[in-house]
Amino acid sequence: MRRVALVVGMALGCSVFATPAPANACGGTFCDGGATPVAQTGETILFVMGEDSTAAHIQIAYDPETDADAFAWVVPLLAVPEFSVGSQALFDALLAGTVPAYGFTSSFDACGEDDGGGAGGDSNGGGVKLDLGGGEDGPDVVLTQTVGAFDITVLSGGTAAEVMQWLGDNGYTQDPAADPILGEYLDEGYLFAAFKLTHGADTSEIHPVVLEFATAEACVPLRLTRIAAVEDLEVRAFFLADGRVVPQNFRHVLVNPLVLDWPNRAANYRDVITLAVDAEEAEGKAFVTEYAGPSAVVPSAGLSSPDWDAAVFADLDVLEVVTTLAAQGLMACFDGGADASCVEQIAVLRGLLLQYLPPPTGVAPEVFWGCLSCYADEIDAAAWDGPAFAAALQERVVGPAANAVAILEAYPYLTRMYTTISPAEMTEDPFFWVNADLPDVDRTGEIATQRRLCNQDALWTLPDGREVYVPAGESWPSFDGEMPYEEEVAQMPPAGAPMALSDRRGEIAAQLEAWNCGHGWPAPACGGGGAGESSGDGTTAGGAAVDGGANGCGCATGGDRGGWWVFGLMVLGLGRRAALVRSPPGSPARLGGSRLRHRDARWPRRDLRPRR
């Protein structure tokens, strides 16, 4: 099966290179044009996976201070796709409907007349959402097309030097490091699609782009972003399909919930994911699943409206444009007399209005649109084109919105995956496939319970039922030894159960037991009275928290439980991948291919964790 290559715009500058990669890997972002680099701040991809096709909806993030003339990029492709405009509202709904949320509820033990009842507790949880053979004289131009705010040119064949020359002649900033990459992709049979904003377009007109291919595979390109990418670049991918989607060549990781900072509602979530996907068997090339379940979790309400009608604007008097947009719910207007104003309700609409109804010099757009009749003599008649505005509104707003609703209704299952990855790890591109045998995953409402004991210690019960004893005055335990950040690292087949490469549940359970037992919890398991176990009359058995096994517990003590753990996460997040090297192909404990290993065999944690 042919594999599709497409861009996701993860570059944060103009320098691009890649190490040699196997054939059939998908591509990534090349450098864009203009004298000033475009700072693309990230992106999110939605794959709509049909039986015989895959549509990639790409959300483009950019630095709003970037000059619009510089906003352009190049996409390697194995076939010419169908290009169209995507819906920003769809991305907003996907992100909001599936975002992981962690919180907790509190209860208080009854401790006598003056104490108890739970007053002052945080009982409502307060969960925080983390939120692809040309001619002899260079490449052939096989397609030119304008899609929304973008002019697209697809190139075929030529040599790497000739493609570089074409790009340079057409305003794309060049980097010598791109030459061998272009040659590699040309050898693999790739074409290149070059995107730029249309002449006169502003960055406010940038919108999601859809690339639809006649293939059933999905790939997130990574290998061409190595120089431009930041450390621990965030990658988030959604999949609408007939079942749960999993990584094909990357690993899948289950995170150990014990290392999340529950009292602070998992504020360390990103750092924990980063460390978990850096686990020994994950090798920095892995994803975690944040949601897998019915796509109905994403509401279609608000994505489109039956009131939206682009055709009426073709013959409309220019003075009625804004009031008609407001009547359709596409703008909101505020009657403030001389201060009346109107603002767009769909982000991409602002760019269209600035193009077709630009305000007079010195007048704020919102004020101008709020009273067109007040500036009737200053309206730019040359800019207003009713039929063109109607066509653009249909292409960029009404059509994409209707398509967003249709695909949510057509595909019953949604998967959301997330990872962080650094340049040294971007040596191959992750592919994905459907495994409908796997269970659902839902992290949108992870609520723990905090039970405050009479001695002010706390007993936390996580959503999976595990209990964690936390002495008074401490936020969350650091645990003794090396508490794993990952519970399981697995290779995911297209059917059946995960193939575990590493299962650390036993270590996790042992460390949790040692921690709890070191503080006398639960008392029967540790041979004595529990540190904060409540008796029937509202008092506690054992009084104050047992320090270091003073109650006769035979387990390891809690030891020094300072605040270094969270600090250690931040330090590790900054510098942990500096010494990655590639081991020879065929290294042990890896299913297929070579692996990345750290110079220190004790990686990932021993020598980098703060000493106590």
Q: What is the pLDDT of residue 339?
A: 76
- Alpha carbon separation from 146 to 82, 151, 422 (Å, rounded): 12, 4, 34
- For position 214, what pLDDT does the model report? 86
| pLDDT tens readout for residues 453-465 | 999 999 999 999 9
Amino acid at 542: G
DSSP state of 240: E
| CB 425, CB 223: distance < 8 Å | no
- Retrieve residue 137's tokens: 């004289």
pLDDT at 204 (0 to 100): 65
Return d(Cα 478, Cα 466) in angstroms, integer.
16
DSSP-derived pairing of the beta strands 446-452 and 101-108: parallel
E strand or H helix that includes residue 584: none
- Per-residue confidence (pLDDT) for residue 164, from 0 to 100: 87
Distance of CA 53 to the CA centre of its chain: 23
All residues at 6 or more sequence positions from 99 whose CB lies less than 8 Å from its CB, including other chains: 129, 130, 131, 290, 444
pLDDT score recorded for residue 495: 97
Tokens 């590493």, located at residue: 502
**What's the pLDDT score for residue 423?**
85
The whole-angstrom distance between residue 456's C-alpha and the CA centroid of its chain comes to 39
Centroid of chain to Cα 167: 30
What is the rounded distance in angstroms from the CA atom of residue 428 to the CA atom of residue 425? 8
Beta carbons within 8 Å of 550's beta carbon, 6+ residues apart: none
> In the prediction, which pLDDT does 70 show?
58
Tell me the sheet residues that pair with 292.
415, 441
Structure tokens at 464: 């999976």
**Identity of the amino acid at 91:** F
Angstrom distance (rounded) from CA 9 to CA 337: 44
8 A C-beta contact, residue 376 and residue 384: no
CA 309 – CA 322 distance, rounded (Å): 13
Pairing of strands 42-49, 54-61: antiparallel
pLDDT of residue 136: 53
Q: From CA 515, how far away is CA 332, in angstroms rounded?
A: 57
Which residues does residue 213 pair with via DSSP β-bridges, in sequence order? 54
- Per-residue DSSP letter, 305: -
User: What distance in Å separates the CA atoms of residue 231 and residue 20, rounded to the nearest whole number?
Assistant: 21
Mean pLDDT by 10 residues, the chain (612 residues): 34 27 34 35 80 86 57 77 91 93 93 47 40 59 88 91 87 73 83 81 76 85 68 92 96 97 94 95 96 94 93 96 96 81 90 93 94 93 96 94 94 96 88 96 96 94 96 86 92 97 95 91 66 39 31 33 29 31 33 33 33 34
R_g of the chain computed on alpha carbons: 28
Domain boundaries, the chain: 1-41+62-81+132-221, 101-128+250-296+437-598, 311-388
pTM of the model: 0.74
